[in-house]
Amino acid sequence: MLVKWIRCTVVDRRGFERGQRRWAGLLGEPGFRGQGGGWSRGRPGVAHIFAFWESRAFYDSFMARSHDRLAATQSGTFKDSQVKLFDHRFDVKTGFEPRFTDADLVRVAHCRVHEERAEHFALMQEKVWNPAMAGSPGMTRGLFGEAPGHEFLILSMWQSAAEHGKYRAERVERLALRAQTEADVAALAGDIVDLEPAWIV
């Protein structure tokens, strides 16, 4: 599965949200699995979109055919758009599905990892972080994705901000020490996204 992550700064909120609803046109596309997104909690005006495709071939075909027609409705409503593609490597918890209807919040972490530490980082995600997140009440599902250049995406969906807050307060520092995260990670960027039901496709 291919994961597309788009982050942008919105300059015309009403126009952007109107355009976002037009992406319902994705539903007929071969290989399309789902899309959702919302607003950053910490950065005013920043929107995140997460889209899922069965494979790179289906995605490339869509980009060549239908993308520009759908995207045209949002032209001029945002700036500083950043788009990243990741290959799904494994699930956080089990049976990841690109569904957003039972979550209020997405936590996204984007890590650039030292080359010689990339396999260790992935192993620690599987052995240390995943079980901790999977055992947290309120965490519904998540995934671990990889892009060329030792870049990784960790996406987790939560029923509420309160549940995610409990997990953070209790666990993160201790887990980071155990996983030797500081030694692995060259750069880390993250955000917490309040999902918008109207953006779900």
Considering the chain, what percentage of its residues have pLDDT values greater than 90?
85
The full set of domain ranges for the chain reads 2-199
Q: What is the pLDDT of residue 154?
A: 96
- Measured in Å, how far apart are the chain's first and last C-alpha atoms? 17
Instruction: Count other Cβ atoms within 10 Å, centred on residue 63.
Output: 13
CATH classification for the domain delimited by 2-199, as one of 2.20.140.10, 3.40.50.2000, 3.90.550.10, 3.30.70.100: 3.30.70.100
HEC states along the chain? CEEEEEEEEECCHHHHHHHHHHHHHHHHCCCEEEEEEEEECCCCCEEEEEEEECCHHHHHHHHHHCHHHHHHHHCCCEEEEEEEEEEEEEEECCCCCCCCCCCCEEEEEEEEECHHHHHHHHHHHHHHHHHHHHCCCCEEEEEEEEECCCEEEEEEEECCHHHHHHHHHHHHHHHHHHHCHHHHEEEEEEEEEEECHHHCC
pLDDT in tens, the chain (201 residues): 999 999 999 999 999 999 999 999 999 999 999 999 999 999 999 999 999 999 999 999 999 999 999 999 999 999 999 999 999 999 998 789 999 999 999 999 999 999 999 999 999 999 999 998 888 889 999 999 999 999 999 999 999 888 888 887 777 888 989 999 999 999 999 999 999 999 999
Q: What is the pLDDT of residue 26?
A: 96
Q: What is the pLDDT of residue 6?
A: 98
Q: What is the pLDDT of residue 93?
A: 86
Q: What is the pLDDT of residue 173?
A: 84
Q: What is the pLDDT of residue 52?
A: 98
